[in-house]
Structure 1
Amino acid sequence: MSAFVVALPESSNLMCKRIAFGNLVIVYVGTIIHGAETGIVMHPIHVTSSTALGALASVLAMLFPYPRLAYYEVRKARRSYIERLKHFRDAISASGNITACNFITEAKSLSGAAEKLLQSIKTNQEGMLWERPQVRFFKPHCINSVKKLQDMEISVRGMDIALAYFPLVPVDEEFKRVLRQQISLKLEKAKSSAHCNATIAPETMRNENLLTISASLQGLPASFLHYCMKLLSDNSPISEDPDCTDGKTQKTDATEWRLGSIWRVVRPTKKNLVFAFKCSLSLGLAVFFGLTYTKGNGYWAGLTIAISFVTGRHATFTLANARAQGTAMGSVYGVPCQAGGISAVIGALLILGRDHYGPPSQFAIARITEAIIGLICFITVEILFDPSRAATLAKSQLPQSLRALRYCIDCTFVSPGQRQVPVPNTLALRENHKQLKSCLNELKKFIREAELEPNFWFLPFHGACYRKILESLSRMEDLLLIASQILEGSQVTVVEENMKKDIEDFRTKVSSTLNCLEKELIKKYFPCEIELGRNPNADVLRMLSGNEEVDIITSSFLQHSTLLADKIATDRNEEMLRGQMIFHYNCLAFCMSSLMEEAIRIKNEVKELGKWENPS
């Protein structure tokens, strides 16, 4: 019951809950072992004092020999994050294709670390609230820096997509000069910012008229790269949270706000109730069976899993295996060999801090056995609450992600003739993007867990294929976010009938391809949940057949957009308007072309997945 009460509040930090679980195990088990000799008041006070000393020691370790404050960690990670732009600048400046390919490869290798840097910044910003309490009362610039970096990341990933074509596409030297200048300016602003709340001043790219813009397939990557650099330079809010769009809804009565805040803190959610039941049952069973096995060493079964709890789903067997290895290393080798991680360190400290534990070999064996008892209880409870394998969840999440992507495409590229306003419903569009982002995050989590969990008697999980599909889905998500920015521009709202038909052909082809793949996956894994709707055979006829079809649709759109720009900008004084129109149409055409190519890649990977799981 104590563990249930500790785990229930959502506002409590997970680390605080783990420390409280460990204290509960020591207090209760110590009382059972020592019986009437235990001081009713002094025993909990001693445990609490030891915990406070440990917290003080961790603070001192953070400050000496030099301060390792979250503020400096955020600033360092932020600068490392922006350093990726150097490789883009070097790739653009490279004289040969081989050199450019090397810089682009290095930039892509850093892209994988970008997500970890963002997560590190997000984690350390929670610590900054304790280091700098004044940000609670003044404008929270530092809190918004993650949001700004996320917007920056979308622009940089768009540049990454465009640069993949660069060694094969001839680039105008004036274009190279403009981009090098803008990236260098961005890097200088980033380096000169001494504080995390120092924003990069917007530097509008005023050199569009210097570029030779042509509506051709070869010129699309350069135009798209230029547009992404413009988004990056203007600090455009790409991934704005739909909850923050309406300022009127934020104004509420102060008393109502306080009562609502208190209720949000104390009310138990379904997720928290499940987590609390898991912690309560796991710790209760571990301590009970640990004391039943051997009363004197009953601590270890509970302490081993007290630090193992994680909110939400996780790779249970992998986590338990790591805890078991760490426990064994900590018990047998102690301080000289701490390579087993947290469990090894805790095991060594607990051993060195104990008196009269008998022969070391017996004590080590008893502790390992107790730890295994605790881990068995932990695994059993996890399986009872989450019986589905991560591989099965990844298979079910994939068609859901395809469905969310299809809805997002249909909402983004709504036929211009069907619009009631010049641009689509921005709020609904952002809600769809938010839903797509949530689906992809779930898919990524399930893939990571499925690759870590043991296969037992099941077919091995085809992680490489799923990762390629996830990469394509993530690129399509980024392209859709940038495409929505392009479509909100005034130069793209003017279209003619032929362009409407091109956009409709593109939307139909991509949506039909995703819809067909979604139905095939549902039919394969969940035969009783097939969606009712159009005949799948009709979708097969509309599926994208290859890159030739992509080029045909894109070329048709470019041709019609050029004719429209020539028709509107008839005067020589309107040459600037014509160039801007062609530039934005080129960017939109690149998004459409890349989305179709990624849909074809997903189709091929789904076929590969089918062959893997059904070789016959």
Structure 2
Amino acid sequence: MRDTAWLERLGLALRTAMACLIVSLTTLYGPKPLRHFTTFPAFSYLTTILIWLSDAEPTYGEVLKCCLDVSYATFQTIAIVLVSVLVVGPASLGNGLVAPVAVALASFLVAFPVSTSLLTKRIAFGQIVVVYVTFVVFNGEVAHVFMLPVHVAGSTALGAIASLIAVLLPFPRLAHSQMSKGCKLYAENALERVNMFVEIMMARDNTTAQALLARAASLSVAAKNTLKNIKIHHERMAWERPDTRFLRRKQKLDPGEKLHATEFLMRGLELALGSCSSFPQSMSRDELTCLLEGPRTQIASNSASTLKSQDSLGWHLEAGSLSTAALPVCFFRYCVELFRGDFLSLRQDSKSVNISNTEEEIHPEHEGLSMARKVWDILCVWMARERFVFAFKCSISLGLAVLFGIMYNKKNGYWSGLTVAISLVSGRQATLTVANSRLQGTAMGSVYGLICCSVFQRLEEFRFLPLLPWIILAVFMRHSKVYGQPGGVTAAIAALLILGRRNYGAPTEFAIARIVEASIGLLCFVFGEILVTPARAATLAKTELSHCLDALLDCIQSLVLCSEQKNQKTSVVTDLRKRQAKLKFHVEALERLTAEALTEPKIPFLCPLNAVSYNKLLGSFSKISDLCLYVCDGLKNLSRVQPTLGFPWDNITHELRAFQEKLHPSVKCSLTKSQARLQKELQKRKICHDVEAGTTSNENYSNMELGPSQDDAERFSVSFVMLLKEATDKISDNTAEEVLKSETALCLSSLGFCISRLMQETICIMIEITHTT
């Protein structure tokens, strides 16, 4: 798998180098009429690098979409520039104070629309900077004023066309083939994990099993990244095949959805094995291999929701074999049954929710019109506010960068604004880390360019050749954890501007001016980011943690309501799904903020985020999110046999309500302490506290020791197993179908495991928060 990823990156690097080589040869040695319309080769390189070193791995569909985005950005810029020239005049725009204001206003107009992509905005920002700074450089006395935007557009088009040629030669790099490779790569990963599950079950001791589980967890992380790429490539397929975009969009099945369902069940198998108390399990290798034959077939066919069960596994759950230690194995078998696509008789003649759709279902099917309108109005206001904030940030950052860049060096005033233009994003980012990566990339690319200029001093016509290995290195830098996309982009651009151009003066002077201008731009970029989003990611992560705890309380409350409803009404289960979706949303937000906080530099007098604790919390919250979905699926399976089941749900409700009553004050106490700290920190930094977070109460809750403990979860497991044995005996009296009896007992035992493990993970969260705070 590593060799495959390395070869893919090498292929991308070679195509990126080819695109840059096409730009170099065209601007240096191309026909004179063509060079006349591409007078800004730096922007051609910039366009090429932004397309090829984007967050997504470019395919023909991706590059085609990028070309459309670049065209839209160019038309936007031409319209804005022509209007400003007609209104203000080129002479006024040549003023060093008027031009930055014009850049700020134009940037605001470009950034505000929500329909345009980030690439469109970045290209338009860069074009605006180039045009208005050119007016300043020539003091407004630009020959053929109205041709200036055309020259910028021509340079931009050259970069886009070069990218399109590179993605087509020597053979097209299609999204369909990349998605097929991704599916194959995921299947290999999943099959390797299934084989590892066999080894875990057969492990000679717990130490060996834990080591194998750690390897399985690393494979799970790789599978998650592969699924992200598959989703991106599937979206780009529509640009390669327009018929799927317009004619058959609804009929087109997404393999990514099936693979996500497969991955959900794989996480269930891994969770079950991680919960086993001892190894090896009482199961022969042949029996275990036969048991996992269904998942293997499912993975190999990449059809997680259409494969039907064929032969029964020949295994029946006996009441006498039930114990707390057997619950994880029962859940393991339950996940295997779900892998087979049809849970036999429990799902016959019922429109149960497919597991692939369960993860995506968030809202009830029917909502009141007034409520929908209220939500829509709030959403519109929120989106307008977010767009305004982003547009304001872009306006301030670009305006200041152009102003200070021109003040420092009018001739090279472009580079401060261009540095900001390629750095802006609509959401949050690790500002200082990004700025550091970009500055390092600029310095390394400039130094490399100067060294090559010295080596090829007598062969000036061939000094563009060293660009090829550097571009390849920049692509690998883009995929590294140290530099990432910001460092890789700036490293490539810095070398291209020195080795791929002519008539910019002495290379050393230009390189120094370029580094200084880039530093000015990065300072303005940092200022704009801090001005708009002054709160640190660590502070926001702590706030998001409180949202996760609130969502967790809602899930447990909904779980109690589900146990109270003996007939398991669909509305109650749907409410649990909706609350699970809310929890999942906050967990994903916490994961993003935690990742950003861990990249923040250590600032004196500010406590950094505890990486170990937050990673443990994220792991527990993610497991709880999955467990809630399994609970929903189990309750749905039991809904048809519920009237004849006779399971004593009152006892379960009592246990869950007791757990909730212990958990609620413990969570509230933790939230009170964390909110008090956050308010002090925000007040010190003069940041307004979120009004929706509420105010800190002076109420003194009981100590955290009064909260639930692991003993409560263990007592619940023991109690559930005893009740399950009684229910299994009743089932044998009520029905003669042995298969239905076995499946009902299996479903109930897996439900008990999920609830018990949910309680354990909740307790782990509270213990970790206690240690952290």
TM-score range, shorter chain: 0.7 to 0.9
* Aligned mate of 2:530, from 366, 383, 387: 383
Query: Are 1:330 and 1:347, in contact at CA under 8 Å, matched by a contact in 2?
Result: yes
RMSD: 3.1
Paired position in structure 1 for 2:588: 441
Amino acid paired to 2:294? Q
In the aligned structure 2, how far is the partner of 1:345 from the partner of 1:142? 39
Residue 750 (structure 2) pairs with residue 587 (structure 1): yes
Compute the displacement of 1:119 (Å).
2.1
Letter matched to residue 258 of structure 2: K
Tell me the equivalent position of 1:15.
119
Aligned with residue 41 of structure 1, among 131, 140, 146: 146
Q: Deviations over 1:212-259 (max 9, x none)?
A: 443211221121112222323316335354468649999xxxxxxxxx
Question: Which one of the candidate residues 81, 88, 93 is aligned to 2:186?
Answer: 81
Q: Report the Cα distance in structure 2 between the residues aligned to 1:129 and 1:450, rounded to whole angstroms.
A: 36
Equivalent residues, number: 589
Picking from 93, 108, 122, the partner of 1:4 is 108
* The 10-residue stretch of structure 1 (506-515 or 461-470) with the greater mean CA deviation from structure 2: 506-515
Task: Pick closer, same or farther for the CA change 1:150–1:239 going to 2, 3 Å.
Answer: farther
1:78–1:43 CA distance, 2 compared to 1 (3 A): same
Identify the residue that residue 293 of structure 2 maps to in structure 1. Answer: 181
Deviation at 1:316, TM superposition (A): 0.5
Moved more, 511-520 or 390-399: 511-520
Match of 1:306 among 418, 421, 429: 421
How far residue 427 of structure 1 moved from its aligned partner, in angstroms, is 3.6
Counterpart contact for 1:330–1:345, Cα < 8 Å: yes
Contact 2:669–2:704 (Cα < 8 Å) also in 1? no
Partner SS state of residue 736, structure 2: helix
2:597 maps to 450
In structure 2, what residue type is equivalent to 1:467?
N
Matches within 5 A, 1:275-286: 275-286=390-401
The worse-fitting range, judged by mean Cα deviation, of 445-454 and 131-140 is 131-140
Please tell me whether the aligned partners of residues 638 and 744 of structure 2 are also in contact (alpha carbons under 8 angstroms). no
CA contact (8 A) 1:410 1:511 kept: no
**2:495 counterpart residue number:** 348
1:307-456 alignment, distance < 5 Å: 307-334=422-449, 335=467, 337=470, 338=474, 340-414=487-561, 416-418=563-565, 422-456=569-603
Are the aligned partners of 2:330 and 2:750 in contact in 1 as well (CA < 8 Å)?
yes
- Distance in 1 of aligned mates of 2:664 and 2:618: 14
Task: Please say if residues 238 and 482 of structure 1, whose CA atoms lie closer than 8 Å, have aligned partners that are also in contact.
Answer: no
Q: Cα–Cα, structure 1 residues 593 and 530, in superposed 2: closer, same or farther, change >3 Å?
A: farther
> What CA distance in whole angstroms lies between the structure 1 residues aligned with 2:554 and 2:192?
35
Deviations 1:300-328 (A, max 9, x none): 00111111111111110001111111111
In the TM superposition, what whole-angstrom CA distance separates every residue of 1:528-558 from its partner, at most 9, and x where no partner exists?
75677997329853x2222x43222111111
The separation in 1 between residues aligned to 2:736 and 2:566, in whole angstroms, is 31
For residues 17 and 44 of structure 1, the distance between their equivalents in structure 2, rounded to whole angstroms, comes to 16
- Bigger Cα displacement from structure 2, 512-521 vs 77-86: 512-521
Residue 235 (structure 2) aligns with? 126
C-alpha spacing 1:14/1:415, structure 2 compared with 1 (3 Å): closer
Q: 1:510 and 1:59, CA in 2 relative to 1: closer, same or farther beyond 3 A?
A: farther
Deviation at 1:77, TM superposition (A): 1.7
**Contact 1:104–1:164 (CA under 8 A) maintained in structure 2:** yes
Q: 1:31 maps to what in 2? A: 135
Q: Which runs of 5+ in 1 are unaligned?
A: 191-197, 251-259, 611-616
Give the superposition deviation at 1:81.
2.1
Q: Which residue of 2 aligns with 1:563?
A: 726
Q: Is the 8 A contact 2:316 2:742 kept in 1?
A: no
Residue of structure 2 in register with 1:544 after alignment:
708
* 1:112–1:38 Cα change, 3 Å: farther
Residue in 2 that maps onto 1:147: 257
Q: 1:73: Cα distance to partner?
A: 1.8
The answer on whether the counterparts of 1:8 and 1:268 sit within 8 Å (CA) in structure 2 is: no
Amino acid of the structure 2 residue aligned with 1:570: D
Structure 2: 5+ residue stretches without partners: 1-104, 342-353, 370-375, 450-466, 478-486, 680-693
Structure 1 CA distance for aligned equivalents of residues 495 and 562 of structure 2? 66
Which amino acid letter does the alignment assign opposite residue 3 of structure 1? S
Letter of the aligned partner of 1:506 in structure 2? L
Residues 305 and 126 (structure 1), Cα distance of their counterparts in 2 relative to 1, 3 Å cut: farther
Contact conserved, 2:562 with 2:573, CA < 8 A, in 1? no
Instruction: Specify whether residues 427 and 70 from structure 1 end up closer, same or farther in structure 2 by C-alpha distance, changes over 3 A only.
Output: same
Matches of 2:444 and 2:573 in 1, distance apart?
56
Aligned match of 1:254: none
Structure 2 CA distance, aligned partners of 1:278 and 1:58? 30
CA distance in 1, matches of 2:304, 2:426: 34
**Code of the aligned partner of 1:544:** P
Query: Are the structure 2 counterparts of residues 534 and 118 from structure 1 closer, same or farther at C-alpha, using a change threshold of 3 Å?
Result: farther
Distance in 2 of aligned mates of 1:219 and 1:169: 13
The equivalent position to 1:230 in structure 2, one of 337, 340, 344, is 337
Tell me, in whole angstroms, the C-alpha distance in 2 between the residues paired with 1:78 and 1:467.
28
Task: Quote the residue 1:117 is aligned against.
Answer: 226
Separation in 1, partners of 2:190, 2:560? 30
| Identical amino acids, percent of aligned pairs | 36
Cα deviation per residue 1:64-99 (whole Å; 9 max; x = unaligned)? Answer: 233222222222222222333323432343344367
Alignment of 1:59-98 (within 5 A): 59-94=164-199, 95-97=202-204
1:34-66 CA deviation, whole Å, 9 max, x = no partner? 332343232211211121121111122222233
**For 1:521 and 1:205, how far apart are their aligned partners in 2?**
51
Task: Give me the whole-angstrom Cα distance separating, in 2, the residues matched to 1:22 and 1:40.
Answer: 18
Q: Which amino acid aligns with 1:146?
A: G
Among 293, 303, 326, the residue aligned to 1:219: 326
**Aligned partners of 2:238, 2:768: CA distance in 1, in Å?**
45
Residue 506 (structure 1) aligned with residue 621 (structure 2):
no
Greater mean deviation of Cα atoms: 523-532 or 67-76:
523-532
1:154 and 1:533, CA in 2 relative to 1: closer, same or farther beyond 3 A?
Answer: farther
2:404 equivalent to 1:289: yes
C-alpha distance 17-525 of structure 1, shift in aligned 2 (>3 A):
same
In 2, Cα distance between equivalents of 1:411 and 1:39: 69
1:520 aligned onto 2:520: no
**In structure 2, do the counterparts of structure 1 residues 318 and 142 end up closer, same or farther at CA, with 3 Å as the change threshold?**
farther
Q: Is the 8 A contact 1:318 1:453 kept in 2?
A: yes
How far does residue 26 in structure 1 lie from its aligned partner after superposition? 1.3
Relative to structure 1, the CA distance from residue 372 to residue 90 in structure 2 (aligned partners, 3 Å threshold; closer, same or farther) is: same
In 2: Cα distance, 1:344 partner to 1:231 partner: 49
2:279 corresponds to: 168
Aligned residues of 1:171 and 1:222 also touching (Cα < 8 A): no
The one-letter code sitting in structure 2 at the alignment partner of 1:23 is Q
Alignment correspondent of 1:479? 627
How many Å separate the matches in 1 of 2:334 and 2:595? 33
**TM-score calculated relative to the size of structure 2:** 0.70
In the aligned structure 2, how far is the partner of 1:100 from the partner of 1:211?
A: 26
Distance in 2 between residues matched to 1:216 and 1:553, nearest whole Å: 12
Q: Contact between 1:189 and 1:200, CA under 8 Å: does it hold in 2?
A: no
Q: Judge conservation of contact 1:513–1:540 (CA < 8 Å) in 2.
A: no
SS in 2 for 1:489: helix
Change in Cα spacing, 1:124 to 1:565, as seen in structure 2 (3 Å) is same
Contact 2:566 2:642 in 1 (8 A): no
Give, in angstroms, the shift of residue 562 of structure 1: 1.6
Q: CA deviation at 1:140?
A: 4.2
Which one-letter code corresponds to 1:215 in the other structure?
Answer: L
Which segment drifts farther, 512-521 or 553-562?
512-521
CA contact (8 A) 2:647 2:727 kept: no
CA–CA separation in structure 1 for the residues paired with 2:448 and 2:230: 35
